[in-house]
Chain A
Amino acid sequence: MGDSQYSFSLTTFSPSGKLVQIEHALTAVGSGQTSLGIKAANGVVIATEKKLPSILVDETSVRDISSLFFHKSQPFSCLLFRCHFLILFFFLNYLWQVQKIQILTPNIGVVYSGMGPDFRVLVRKSRKQAEQYHRLYKEPIPVTQLVRETAAVMQEFTQSGGVRPFGVSLLVAGYDDKGPQLYQVDPSGSYFSWKASAMGKNVSNAKTFLEKRYTDDMELDDAVHTAILTLKEGFEGQISGKNIEIGIIGADKKFRVLTSAEIDDYLAEVE
C-alpha cells in the first residue's frame, strides 16, 4: 500500500498524542451532507440528503439499480447463484451513477457522509472483499466480517506511507443470520454497531432527535418514517423524493434503494 517514494507515514502523532490528520478527516466528514441509519426490529433503513450542485446535473445519471439487481440474484441453483453474484458485481461497478446509497452484497448496503470520490474507492474494495470471501467459503459474507475488513482498509490509509486517511464515514446496513445490523465506520478505521446513528452536517440535532424517537421494538416502516422526519429537521429547502435517498433491508434479506415515487409515498404518510 505504501508508495516507495514516501516510505514514511503522513499521519503522525502530535505531541499531545493525537493523530491530527484523522481529526481533520472527521472535520471533512462533518461538513458533508447529512446521512443517518436506524435499526428496526425487522430490518434496517439508511438515508441521506442528495443535493446535486446544479439543476444542470442530469438526474437520470442518478439511477436506481435495484431493479437490475433483483432480477440477477434469484438463486436457481448454487452454481448459477454464484455466476449471478459475479455478474451482479461486474455490472455494479460499471452501472455506478450518482447514487449515494450503494449495494455491497445482496444483503448489505452502505451510505456515506463526506467525500464522494473516496467513497467510491471504499465501495469497490469492499465489494471485492465480499466476493473473495464468497469464493473461499461458498457463502455470503457476514456483515461484521465485511465491516471489519473495510475498517481495516481505512486504518491502513492512516498508517501507510504517502497516503492520507479517507474523508468519509460509512453507515453499513445489513441483514444476515444474526439479524438486522447497522455499523458506522470512521476515517480512523474504528467501527461500532448502532441502534441508530447520524453523520454529516446536522449530526448533533439529528442524533438528539433519534435518541428521543428510537424504540427497540420499532418496525421497518416506523423506522423509515423516523428517518424521513430526522432528515426533514435539518433540511434546507423543500424535501421530496428527488433530493433524498433511502435504502432499506427487511427480513427478506434483500437490500434495495427506494425509488423516488416510493419516497414520495412515505413523505405523504408523514405529512
Chain B
Amino acid sequence: MSRGSGGGYDRHITIFSPEGRLFQVEYAFKAVKAAGITSIGVRGKDSVCVVTQKKVPDKLLDHTSVTHLFPITKYLGLLATGVTADARTLVQQARNEAAEFRFRYGYEMPVDVLAKWIADKSQIYTQHAYMRPLGVVAMVLGIDEEYGPRLYKCDPAGHYFGHKATSAGLKEQEAINFLEKKMKNDPQFTYEETVQTAISALQSVLQEDFKATEIEVGVVRKENPVFRVLSTEEIDEHLTAISERD
C-alpha cells in the first residue's frame, strides 16, 4: 500500500506529488501573483518595450528606490515581477554572470544566453531541496546582433521562451488575451507603437488611466541598443499620445 504523498513533504520542498506535480513550483507562481503587480512586454520591429506598475505603498518611501526594472549590462535589461527580495538576488547573480561572460568570451552576453542561464538556475531550485524556487518571473530584453530585438520570459519552473509580446503578474491571463488580439496578424510595430501598445495594454487590463509616476517603462531600440528606463516626461508624452489617439 503506497504511503501516498511521502509524508506530506511534497508541499514543503520540491519533490513530486502523487499526481506528478511540484507544489513548491506552483506556489512560487502564486507568490508572483501575490505581489499584486502586472507587467507587460512587447516586441516591435526594431525595439522592445516593457512596462510595469509602480506602487509606492507609503508616501515616506523614497520612490526612486522602488523599481522592478534593472539593467543587467548596458545592453540588457531585466524586468522582475514578484517577490522583490528574490528579484534583487536574481539581478545580482545575473549581473555577475553577464560580466564574467564578457570577460571570458570577449563579447557581450546575448539576450537568449542570459535567459537560458536564468532558466537553468531556476531549474536547479526545482530539483534540489536545499533552495526553494524564486518567486520571480523575469522578462529579459535586448537587441541581438543577429536576430534584432528580443524579449524572453523566464519563470520559476525553469521554462523560458522568446515572445512577441507577453505578460506576468496579477492580471497575466487578461493581458495575454488582450495582446493576442493585438498581435494576431503579426504587426511590425514602430518604436512609438510598441511603447503605446504596451502602456495601453496595461491600462486596459487594469482598467485605469495612469499618471506618469505610476508606471515604469524600459526600452531597447535598434538605433540605440542601450537599455534605458524612460523618464517621467517621456512617459507623459506617450500617455498623451495614447489619450489623443483614443
* Chain A interface residues toward B at CB < 8 A: 3, 5-6, 10-12, 14-16, 18, 20-21, 23-31, 52-58, 60-61, 94, 96-98, 115-118, 120-121, 157, 162-167
**B161 adjacent to chain A (CB < 8 Å):** yes
Partner of B20, one of A10, A29, A60: A29
A117 & B158 in contact (Cβ 8 Å cutoff): yes
Given A56-B166, A61-B162, are A96 and B129 also a contact pair (CB < 8 Å)?
no
Closest to A157 in B: B127
Assembled-state Cα–Cα distance A120/B2 (Å): 31
**Within the complex, what minimum Cβ distance (angstroms) separates B121 from chain A?**
10
* Chain B interface residues toward A at CB < 8 A: 1-4, 6, 9-10, 13-22, 43, 110, 112-113, 116, 119-120, 122-124, 126-130, 147, 150-152, 157-159, 161-166, 176, 179-180, 183-184
Partner of A27, one of B20, B122, B161: B20
Partner of A55, one of B14, B18, B180: B180
B18 & A27 in contact (Cβ 8 Å cutoff): yes
**Within the complex, what minimum Cβ distance (angstroms) separates B192 from chain A?**
21
**Within the complex, what minimum Cβ distance (angstroms) separates A116 from chain B?**
6
A165 & B158 in contact (Cβ 8 Å cutoff): no
B129 & A18 in contact (Cβ 8 Å cutoff): no
What are 10 A-B residue pairs whose CB atoms fall within 8 Å in the complex? A20-B2, A24-B10, A56-B164, A57-B162, A60-B162, A98-B161, A117-B120, A117-B122, A117-B123, A117-B126
B180 & A54 in contact (Cβ 8 Å cutoff): yes
Assembled-state Cα–Cα distance A96/B119 (Å): 12
B3 & A25 in contact (Cβ 8 Å cutoff): no
A28 & B16 in contact (Cβ 8 Å cutoff): yes
Q: Chain B residues with Cβ under 8 A from A165's Cβ? A: 16
B116 & A3 in contact (Cβ 8 Å cutoff): no
Assembled-state Cα–Cα distance A117/B158 (Å): 5
Assembled-state Cα–Cα distance A165/B21 (Å): 12
A118 & B183 in contact (Cβ 8 Å cutoff): no
A/B pair count, beta carbons within 8 Å: 134
B128 & A163 in contact (Cβ 8 Å cutoff): yes
Q: Chain B residues with Cβ under 8 A from A57's Cβ? A: 161-164
Q: Chain A residues with Cβ under 8 A from B17's Cβ? A: 24
A15 & B1 in contact (Cβ 8 Å cutoff): yes
Q: Chain A residues with Cβ under 8 A from B130's Cβ? A: 3, 5-6, 162
Closest to B4 in A: A20
A97 & B129 in contact (Cβ 8 Å cutoff): no
Given A20-B6, A56-B165, A116-B158, are A96 and B116 also a contact pair (CB < 8 Å)?
yes
Q: Chain B residues with Cβ under 8 A from A166's Cβ? A: 127
Closest to A31 in B: B20
**Within the complex, what minimum Cβ distance (angstroms) separates B95 from chain A?**
19
Q: Chain B residues with Cβ under 8 A from A30's Cβ? A: 20
B129 & A162 in contact (Cβ 8 Å cutoff): yes
Q: Chain B residues with Cβ under 8 A from A118's Cβ? A: 123, 127, 158
B127 & A61 in contact (Cβ 8 Å cutoff): no
Q: Chain B residues with Cβ under 8 A from A23's Cβ? A: 2
A56 & B183 in contact (Cβ 8 Å cutoff): yes
A20 & B120 in contact (Cβ 8 Å cutoff): no
Given A60-B147, A167-B20, are A162 and B128 also a contact pair (CB < 8 Å)?
yes
Assembled-state Cα–Cα distance A21/B165 (Å): 37
**Within the complex, what minimum Cβ distance (angstroms) separates B28 from chain A?**
13
Given A10-B15, A20-B2, A96-B116, are A120 and B20 also a contact pair (CB < 8 Å)?
no
Assembled-state Cα–Cα distance A29/B164 (Å): 29
Given A3-B130, A56-B166, A118-B123, are A61 and B16 also a contact pair (CB < 8 Å)?
no
Assembled-state Cα–Cα distance A11/B6 (Å): 9
Q: Chain A residues with Cβ under 8 A from B21's Cβ? A: 28
Closest to A58 in B: B162
A28 & B20 in contact (Cβ 8 Å cutoff): yes
Closest to A121 in B: B123
Given A60-B147, A167-B20, are A52 and B161 also a contact pair (CB < 8 Å)?
yes
A3 & B176 in contact (Cβ 8 Å cutoff): no
